[in-house]
Amino acid sequence: MNLNKYLDVKPEVAEAIAAGKPVVALESTIISHGMPYPQNVQTALEVERIIRENGAVPATIAIIGGRLKAGLTAEEIEYFGKKGTAIAKASRRDLAVLCARGEDGATTVTTTMIIAHMAGIKVFATGGIGGVHRGAETTMDISADLEELASTPVMVVCAGAKSILDLGLTLEYLETHGVPVIGYGTKELPAFYTRHSGFSVDYEIDTPEELAKAFKTQHELGLRGGMLVTNPIPEEYSMDAAVINGAIDEAIREAKEQGIHGKETTPFLLAKVKDLTGGNSLDANIQLVYNNARLAARTAKAYCEN
Ligand code: PSU
Ligand code: MN
């Protein structure tokens, strides 16, 4: 644990970490920017319940009044969900100024990894990660999430990446930076709403115990950085590839037309895809997060047990 004067670890989380019990970190951008109110709050609370049911302690991570929070109360989750996109999306470059000014921030994969690591949490569950955007060869829009995976030792369990990104270039970037990309029960990188992308992962691993062992071995070898576990959406909730890809293409077209750039790009594309596909994509999104929470809790438990 690397405590600093800006970090507040919720007592239940601190006790679990001190006792060597499993904890799973969760991000807050998915609450404030990823889903509409009140489904965002309901989902965040249900994810915490699922993590408990599977033997781990949940720690939803956020920045509140300049404090780095590892573990939120139900009231704080409600506050984040209600304020929604009025809360600043906080990546690595935002942390210092937000803390210095005593402001709120919704943590992305990047900042959730940073704060989880400060608190001593090793496993983190989310929906999708940021990556190399389509057209990045001219825009240079590459998510800070990839750099963080390269340097911070936290396992990120996600459902792959949405094809708002260039999935091939995202995998190339992760390879260059030495981040293992694992498929849970699959050799193919899942594409968030669908189980298939046409791209291969580095390794297929089929049990939480083996995931935990691989990650522990990475630490014991002294290799820096995280591990990306991609867990396909359950078949019954997966979406029609043509429908979702059509919506993504349309969203990218509108973003270009409107000159959307910088930190607005990802939230803009996600919101557009959601509008274009209606409630179906929201349902799929919620279910894949539940699925990732289950796997992350079981993996955190296995990590602590051996
Ligand atoms: N991709 C998704 N859902 C999300 C995000 C990305 O499918 O909610 C959020 C995550 O918080 C992720 C962030 O860390 O967007 C990446 O933003 P950017 O591309 O600006 O780095
Ligand atoms: Mn970006």
CB-neighbour burial class of residue 216 (10 A; exposed 0-12, middle 13-18, buried 19+): middle
Q: How far is CA 45 from the centre of its chain?
A: 16
d(CA 129, ligand 1 centre) in Å: 5
The reply to whether ligand 1 has any atom less than 6 angstroms from the CB of 243 is no
Residue-wise pLDDT for 188-232, tens only, equals: 999 999 999 999 999 999 999 999 999 999 999 999 999 999 999
Q: Is 57:51 a contact under the CB 8 Å cutoff?
A: yes
43 CB less than 6 Å from ligand 1?
Answer: no
pLDDT tier, 4 (very low <50, low <70, confident <90, very high otherwise): confident
Instruction: Compute the chain's Rg from CA coordinates.
Output: 18
Q: By alpha-carbon position, which residue is closest to atom 11 of ligand 1?
A: 108
Catalytic-residue membership of 263: no
Ligand 1 atom at shortest distance from the alpha carbon of 133: 19
305 C-alpha to ligand 1 centroid (Å): 31
Residue 30, ligand 1, Cβ within 6 A = yes
Q: Is the pLDDT of residue 2 over 80?
A: no
Question: Closest ligand 1 atom to the C-alpha of 144?
Answer: 21
**CB of 34 sitting under 6 A from ligand 1:** yes
Mean local confidence (pLDDT), 107-122: 98
- Environment class of residue 279 by beta-carbon count within 10 Å: exposed (0-12), middle (13-18) or buried (19+)? exposed
In contact, 109 and 34? CB cutoff 8 Å = no
Reported for 218-224, long-range contacts at CB under 8 A and 24+ positions apart, including other chains, are 218/153, 218/180, 219/153, 223/178, 224/150, 224/151, 224/153
Is the Cβ–Cβ distance between 91 and 148 less than 8 Å? no
Tell whether ligand 1 has an atom less than 6 A from the beta carbon of residue 109: yes
Catalytic annotation, pick one of 10, 69, 122, 162: 162
pLDDT score recorded for residue 101 = 98
The pLDDT, as a whole number, for residue 63 is: 98
How many angstroms separate the alpha carbon of residue 306 from the centre of ligand 1?
32
Q: What is the pLDDT of residues 133-177, one digit of tens each?
A: 999 999 999 999 999 999 999 999 999 999 899 999 999 999 999
pLDDT digits (tens, 9 = 90+) for 26-53: 999 999 999 999 999 999 999 999 999 9
Active-site residue 236, yes or no? no
Express each pLDDT in 63-96 by its tens digit. Answer: 999 999 999 999 999 999 999 999 999 999 999 9
Q: Mean pLDDT score of the chain, rounded to an integer?
A: 96
pLDDT in tens, 173-188: 999 999 999 999 999 9
Q: Is 225 in the pocket of ligand 1 (CB under 6 A)?
A: no
Residue from 108, 115, 233, 285 whose mutation best tests the ligand 1 pocket (most atoms within 8 A of CB): 108
